[in-house]
């Protein structure tokens, strides 16, 4: 492969070098120098080569740049002729002559050249020989200022023929009928270079073009697109042929000027599907009328000056897009259509300003010349759409709308906006305009800008569409932001909000802010609990339809967590949530569908407390549901008795009346007050400070490590290699983030240490985080929603110990015992106890959600925690967070490591909650990140004694 690449490169370089070094043959260089010497063409660069130029002169070569293929000559000396040396360019395909006097009869190297396909002359004069049949490749012949004779070419060879006789020069011969072969697309024959329809008849070319072509039918082969005849004295005043005689329908251009045509101009020409130019000026005996058909065709240029046209000018004559109209010196009369009275004065003069409209002065009843006063009266007949929809185009239909205008919209609250428009198909009856989105109702003022003072003006009413509300988000009972979507809503807001408001059940929704113009906005609604009420909107005086608008609803109450119940005594349950209102008279709590009474005591939007009568202990959970003004929350299985495994010693409370700490069924552990720690809120935090470390190469921990291992989507597991995390350590000395993505999904892990007591928020759940605690947050995002989602977290010890490791791991199971859910764990090593919490809450697509932490035993030193996201909806985003800290160990524990004992295969031993395997240890890590809880103490000579004692303790287990 490398050899092939080198070969291609060498070939490429050789090609480049050969082109750079390519030169014209000496014979062609000499010929170019001879042209310079004879005519004055000082080539630049010199000596002449490919690309050399002077004025319009240019040398064009083939791709190898070794021979000339096209040559243009524009000499200094205009009375000279080109040397007869064109045979020095054997590959010449195009020859163009500017200026000079050339005699083709003597230029045999042109007449006999085998490859020239294009022969052109643009100025000077050229004496044309009658015989060019020896130019075997000639395809295009373009001669300006030709004289002596009409060129004779090979029959059927041309696709393009353009010949203009030189002024005051004779021309003999005739056009062969064979020139009009099936391949001819362009034919132009002209007597002089001046405008022939403005010349006296004695300047006509007395040329019997029709000697071999008795009528125009012979001049219209199927391929012909353009036919032009200028200043020809045709015999017997030929009559303009009818459509039945000649098939004109392939032509795009027809110019028959000053050829003494008589008869009637066929009106069927106005309906041709291809014709865009029709020029019949200078035929004084040509009769005809202009019909309304002319307004429906594709004509952009129509001239019929010095003809015998009669009648009136049709009112729709320019509707089809006619931009040049010349009708001077005719017998047309009557009134000119309104558009010509409304156009700018320069459009009525022969100044080559488009559009151009030329008429006789003082012939029409309402037109006396371009500089005379005109009476323009614009009329708007309709506006589409009506009412106007936001962001749509605006179509203005009317009469005499002019081609220069000023349009302004003014609505009822004083907003003013100008409108930009384009003439539709260049007519004066329809304008396609941009939408200024001024909204409201008001007037359109339309002014035609022409030479009249004041400008012709008309005014009509306009109205935008009424706002249409299609959806509204539910609101908080506390009041707050809601989002309203629809069509033709607010675009911009008036400074004083005149005629603009939003009301819900008669109360204002304030602080309106446009999110997406005309489609969505947000506003702040008042507190309340009354749902299924009307939402109304006024936008600059336009009202929404209350009967069509959706109703407004407050959010149903949301339950997040509940405290556990003590057996055999009355218990006050605290239910945390959202939108719980503040009036106990309309709030009730349903436990187990109402089978367990719970009398509401207090409520304050975020918490409800209710009293449950004394009950004996029972296992499992029951549902809790809150009703606020008859709106029900979901049933959440949060009612249960205090589980001493999950909340040891009732979180340090002596009875149900204690409130310093709570056993949260929603979170799955004790919520401890500030400066209290541990599973039962009765531990002390270790004085040993954990140290955060970062590494991109390895995970090295003195005790435990904790890191995300894989993501499981729809049952398919994707492992995340440690070296594929992208690490960001710029967030501070005690925090970092790690990013991984693959195929439209991504995972962000954020690790941080709280130096002070703080709180964490997951979904709508909030819980306390002690000082010197590390949090481990996981955010998942997928471009494609998934039906099920889980993660695996690897938990490892280091170094590996000789004996099985005692881990206190708090778990619960469902009523069938099939699902084990880990809430927290502790593990003791030396004088420190590692404490990790696994909150059972998650944020799923920005809503409150829950998870199940399923421990899976791996081996003697590691375990896998499977985090199952609980949702019956499609999932695109998820966030959950664990945390860990160091406590003072109730008893010190020493250990032996694998460096001094046989390898063991026993599984981990859990002290509390069942044998379910180990859990998070003394560090959290993502990819190459880890947290080391350094005990920073010396292992002294008493280590062996401690190890021996630890073995004895483990043996007793």
Tokens of 794: 């690897």
Count how many Cα atoms sit within 13 Å of the Cα of residue 949 in the half-sphere of its side chain: 10
Give the pLDDT confidence of 637-685 residue by residue, as tens digits. 899 998 888 999 889 876 555 557 889 988 999 999 888 899 999 999 8
Q: Is pLDDT above 70 for 957?
A: no
* Sign (positive or negative) of CA dihedral 467, 473, 475, 476: negative
* Sign (positive or negative) of CA dihedral 410, 415, 420, 424: negative
- pLDDT computed for residue 700 by the predictor: 32
Scan for tokens 């009420």, then name that residue: 533
Which segment, 212-216, 321-325, 523-527, is predicted with the most confidence on average?
523-527
Q: Is pLDDT above 80 for 933?
A: no
- pLDDT computed for residue 659 by the predictor: 59
Helices (H), 65-164: 108-111
Single out the residue of 794, 795, 801, 864 nearest to residue 829, CA to CA. 801
387/368 Cα distance (integer angstroms): 41
- Do 459 and 443 contact (CB within 8 A), yes or no? yes
DSSP state of 905: -
- pLDDT computed for residue 244 by the predictor: 73
Mean pLDDT of 602-618: 94
Q: Which residues contact 944 (CB under 8 A, 6 or more apart)?
A: none
- pLDDT computed for residue 731 by the predictor: 65
Environment class of 16 (CB within 10 Å of its CB; exposed 0-12, middle 13-18, buried 19+): exposed
pLDDT-based confidence at residue 127 (cuts at 50, 70, 90)? confident
Q: Is pLDDT above 90 for 326?
A: yes
- pLDDT computed for residue 219 by the predictor: 64
Q: Is pLDDT above 60 for 351?
A: yes
Q: Is pLDDT above 80 for 803?
A: no
Within the chain, all domains assigned CATH 2.70.98 are found at: 664-888
Give the pLDDT confidence of 746-766 residue by residue, as tens digits. 999 988 888 889 888 888 888
Q: Which residues contact 660 (CB under 8 A, 6 or more apart)?
A: 652, 653, 673, 676, 681
E-strand ranges in 312-355 read 324-326, 331-332
The phi, psi pair for 199, rounded to 5°, reads -95, 155
Q: Is pLDDT above 70 for 166?
A: yes
- pLDDT computed for residue 55 by the predictor: 94
- pLDDT computed for residue 423 by the predictor: 67
Environment class of 511 (CB within 10 Å of its CB; exposed 0-12, middle 13-18, buried 19+): exposed
Tokens of 203: 């300047």
Environment class of 742 (CB within 10 Å of its CB; exposed 0-12, middle 13-18, buried 19+): exposed
Tokens of 493: 């807001």
Tokens of 779: 């955010």
Give the pLDDT confidence of 283-309 residue by residue, as tens digits. 999 999 999 989 888 899 999 999 999
Verify cis geometry, omega within 30 degrees of 0, for the bond prior to 418: no
Within the chain, all domains assigned CATH 2.60.40.10 are found at: 379-463, 468-552, 558-641
Please provide the average confidence, as pLDDT, over all residues in the chain.
83
Let me know if domain 664-888 sits in CATH 2.70.98.
Answer: yes
Single out the residue of 295, 288, 343, 344 nearest to residue 315, CA to CA. 295
pLDDT-based confidence at residue 827 (cuts at 50, 70, 90)? confident
Instruction: Calculate ∠ Cα 171-177-180, nearest 5°.
Output: 105
> What's CA 585's distance to the chain center, in Å?
53
Q: Is pLDDT above 50 for 692?
A: yes
Q: Is pLDDT above 50 for 206?
A: no
CB count within 10 Å of CB 891 equals: 8
**C-alpha Rg value of the chain to the nearest Å:** 48
Q: Is pLDDT above 80 for 575?
A: yes
pLDDT-based confidence at residue 710 (cuts at 50, 70, 90)? very high
Residue 14 vs residue 717, higher pLDDT: 717
65/68 Cα distance (integer angstroms): 8
pLDDT-based confidence at residue 460 (cuts at 50, 70, 90)? very high
E-strand ranges in 551-635 read 558-562, 571-578, 587-591, 599-603, 607-612, 622-628, 631-632
Overall residue count recorded for the chain in this entry: 957
Give the pLDDT confidence of 171-183 residue by residue, as tens digits. 776 777 778 788 9
- pLDDT computed for residue 217 by the predictor: 56
DSSP state of 317: T
Give the pLDDT confidence of 544-559 residue by residue, as tens digits. 999 999 999 999 999 9
Percent over 70 (pLDDT), the chain = 82
pLDDT-based confidence at residue 695 (cuts at 50, 70, 90)? very low
Give the pLDDT confidence of 426-450 residue by residue, as tens digits. 567 889 999 999 999 999 999 998 8
Tokens of 956: 């007793």
Give the pLDDT confidence of 368-400 residue by residue, as tens digits. 999 999 999 999 999 999 999 998 999 999 988
Residue 69 vs residue 620, higher pLDDT: 69
pLDDT-based confidence at residue 953 (cuts at 50, 70, 90)? very low
Give the pLDDT confidence of 895-906 residue by residue, as tens digits. 777 666 654 444
Q: Is pLDDT above 80 for 199?
A: no
Q: Is pLDDT above 70 for 946?
A: no
Q: Is pLDDT above 50 for 883?
A: yes
pLDDT-based confidence at residue 3 (cuts at 50, 70, 90)? very low
- pLDDT computed for residue 517 by the predictor: 96
CB count within 10 Å of CB 114 equals: 12
Q: Is pLDDT above 50 for 830?
A: yes
Which segment, 38-52, 128-142, 853-867, is predicted with the most confidence on average?
38-52
Q: Is pLDDT above 70 for 915?
A: no
Most distant CA pair in the chain: distance in Å?
Answer: 138
The phi, psi pair for 383, rounded to 5°, reads -125, 135
318/324 Cα distance (integer angstroms): 9
431/400 Cα distance (integer angstroms): 11
- pLDDT computed for residue 16 by the predictor: 35
The phi, psi pair for 663, rounded to 5°, reads -95, 105
- Do 649 and 560 contact (CB within 8 A), yes or no? no
Single out the residue of 320, 335, 341 nearest to residue 423, CA to CA. 320
Percent over 90 (pLDDT), the chain = 50
Mean pLDDT of 6-34: 62
Which contacts of 898-901 are long-range, i.e. CB under 8 A and separated by 24 or more positions?
Answer: 898/799, 898/800, 898/801, 898/802, 899/799, 900/802, 901/802
Single out the residue of 948, 932, 931, 841 nearest to residue 894, CA to CA. 948
CATH of range 379-463; options 2.60.40.10, 2.40.30.10, 3.30.930.10, 1.10.3720.10: 2.60.40.10
Residue 4 vs residue 228, higher pLDDT: 228
Domain 558-641: which topology?
A: Immunoglobulin-like (2.60.40)
- Do 179 and 166 contact (CB within 8 A), yes or no? no
Q: Which CATH architecture has domain 468-552?
A: Sandwich (2.60)
């Amino acid at each position: 492969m490398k050899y092939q690449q080198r070969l291609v490169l060498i070939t490429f370089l050789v090609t480049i070098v050969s082109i750079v070094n390519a030169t014209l043959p000496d014979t062609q260089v000499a010929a170019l120098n001879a042209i310079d010497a004879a005519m004055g063409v000082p080539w630049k660069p010199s000596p002449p080569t490919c690309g050399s130029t002077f004025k319009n002169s240019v040398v064009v070569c083939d791709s190898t740049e070794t021979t000339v293929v096209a040559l243009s000559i524009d000499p200094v000396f205009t009375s000279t002729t080109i040397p007869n040396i064109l045979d020095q360019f054997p590959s010449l395909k195009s020859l163009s002559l500017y200026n000079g006097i050339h005699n083709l009869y003597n230029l045999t190297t042109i007449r006999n050249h085998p490859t020239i396909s294009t022969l052109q002359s643009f100025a000077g004069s050229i004496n044309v020989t009658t015989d060019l049949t020896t130019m075997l490749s000639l395809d295009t012949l373009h001669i300006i200022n030709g004289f002596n004779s009409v060129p004779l070419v090979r029959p059927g060879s041309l696709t393009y023929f353009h010949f203009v006789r030189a002024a005051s020069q004779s021309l003999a011969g005739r056009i062969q009928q064979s020139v009009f072969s099936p391949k001819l697309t362009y034919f132009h024959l002209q007597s002089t270079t001046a405008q022939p329809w403005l010349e006296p008849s004695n300047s006509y070319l007395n040329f019997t073009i029709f000697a071999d072509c008795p009528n125009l039918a012979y001049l219209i082969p199927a391929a012909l697109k353009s036919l032009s005849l200028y200043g020809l004295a045709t015999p017997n005043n030929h009559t303009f042929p009818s459509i039945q005689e000649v098939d004109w329908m392939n032509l795009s251009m027809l110019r028959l000027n000053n050829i003494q045509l008589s008869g009637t101009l066929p009106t069927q020409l106005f309906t041709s599907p291809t014709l865009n130019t029709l020029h019949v000026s200078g035929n004084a005996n040509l009769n005809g009328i202009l019909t309304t058909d002319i307004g429906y065709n594709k004509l952009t240029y129509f001239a019929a000056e010095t003809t015998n046209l009669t009648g009136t000018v049709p009112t729709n004559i320019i509707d089809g897009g006619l931009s040049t109209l010349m009708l001077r010196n005719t017998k047309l009369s009557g009134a000119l259509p309104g558009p010509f009275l409304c156009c700018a004065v320069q459009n009525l003069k022969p100044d080559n300003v488009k559009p151009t409209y030329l008429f006789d002065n003082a012939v029409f009843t309402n037109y006396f010349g371009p500089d005379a006063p005109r009476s323009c009266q614009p009329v708007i007949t309709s506006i589409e759409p009506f009412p106007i929809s936001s962001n749509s185009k605006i179509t203005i239909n009317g009469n005499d709308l002019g081609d220069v205008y000023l349009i302004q919209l003014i609505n009822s609250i004083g907003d003013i906006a100008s409108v930009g428009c384009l003439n539709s198909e260049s007519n004066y009856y329809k304008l396609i305009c941009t939408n200024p989105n001024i909204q409201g109702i008001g007037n359109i003022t339309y002014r035609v800008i022409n030479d009249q003072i004041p400008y012709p003006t008309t005014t009509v009413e306009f109205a935008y569409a009424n706002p249409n509300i299609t959806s509204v988000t539910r609101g908080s009972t506390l009041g707050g932001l809601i989002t309203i979507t629809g069509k033709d809503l607010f675009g911009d807001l008036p400074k004083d909000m005149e005629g603009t408001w939003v009301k819900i059940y008669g109360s204002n929704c304030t602080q309106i802010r446009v999110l997406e113009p005309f489609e969505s906005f947000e506003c702040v609604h008042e507190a309340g609990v009354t749902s299924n009420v009307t939402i109304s909107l006024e936008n600059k005086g336009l009202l929404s339809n209350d009967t069509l608008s959706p109703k407004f609803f407050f959010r149903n109450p949301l339950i997040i967590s509940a405290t556990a119940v003590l057996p055999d005594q009355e218990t006050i349950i605290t239910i945390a949530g959202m939108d719980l209102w503040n009036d106990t008279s309309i709030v009730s709590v349903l436990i187990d569908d109402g089978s367990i009474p719970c009398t509401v005591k207090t409520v304050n939007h975020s918490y409800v407390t209710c009293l449950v009568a004394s009950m004996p202990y029972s296992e499992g959970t029951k549902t809790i549901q809150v009703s606020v003004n008859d709106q029900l929350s979901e049933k959440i299985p949060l009612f249960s008795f205090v589980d001493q495994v999950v909340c040891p010693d009732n979180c340090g409370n002596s009875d149900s009346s204690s409130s310093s700490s709570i056993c949260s069924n929603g979170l799955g552990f004790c919520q401890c007050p500030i400066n209290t720690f541990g599973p039962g809120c009765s531990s002390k935090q270790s004085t040993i400070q954990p140290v955060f470390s970062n590494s991109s190469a390895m995970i090295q921990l003195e005790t435990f490590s904790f890191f995300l291992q894989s993501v499981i989507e729809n049952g398919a597991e994707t492992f995340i290699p440690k070296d594929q995390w992208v690490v960001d350590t710029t967030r501070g000395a005690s925090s970092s983030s790690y990013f991984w993505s693959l195929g439209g999904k991504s995972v962000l892990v954020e690790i941080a240490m709280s130096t002070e007591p703080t709180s964490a928020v997951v979904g709508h759940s909030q819980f306390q985080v002690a000082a010197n605690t590390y949090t481990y947050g996981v955010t998942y995002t997928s471009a494609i929603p998934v039906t099920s989602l889980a993660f695996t977290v690897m938990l490892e010890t280091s170094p590996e110990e000789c004996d099985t490791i005692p881990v206190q791991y708090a778990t619960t199971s469902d009523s069938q015992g099939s699902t084990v859910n880990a809430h927290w764990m502790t593990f003791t090593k030396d004088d420190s106890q590692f404490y990790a919490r696994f909150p059972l809450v998650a944020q799923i697509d920005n809503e409150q959600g829950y998870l199940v932490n399923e421990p899976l035993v791996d081996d003697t030193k590691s375990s896998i925690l499977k985090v199952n996201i609980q949702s019956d909806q499609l999932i695109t985003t998820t966030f959950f967070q664990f945390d860990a800290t160091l406590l003072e160990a109730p008893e010190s524990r020493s250990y032996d490591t694998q460096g001094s004992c046989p390898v063991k295969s026993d599984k981990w031993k859990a002290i509390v909650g069942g044998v379910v395997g180990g859990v998070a240890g003394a560090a959290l890590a993502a990819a190459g990140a880890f947290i080391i809880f350094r005990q920073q103490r010396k292992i002294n000579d008493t280590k062996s004694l401690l190890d021996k004692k630890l073995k004895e303790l483990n043996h007793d287990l």
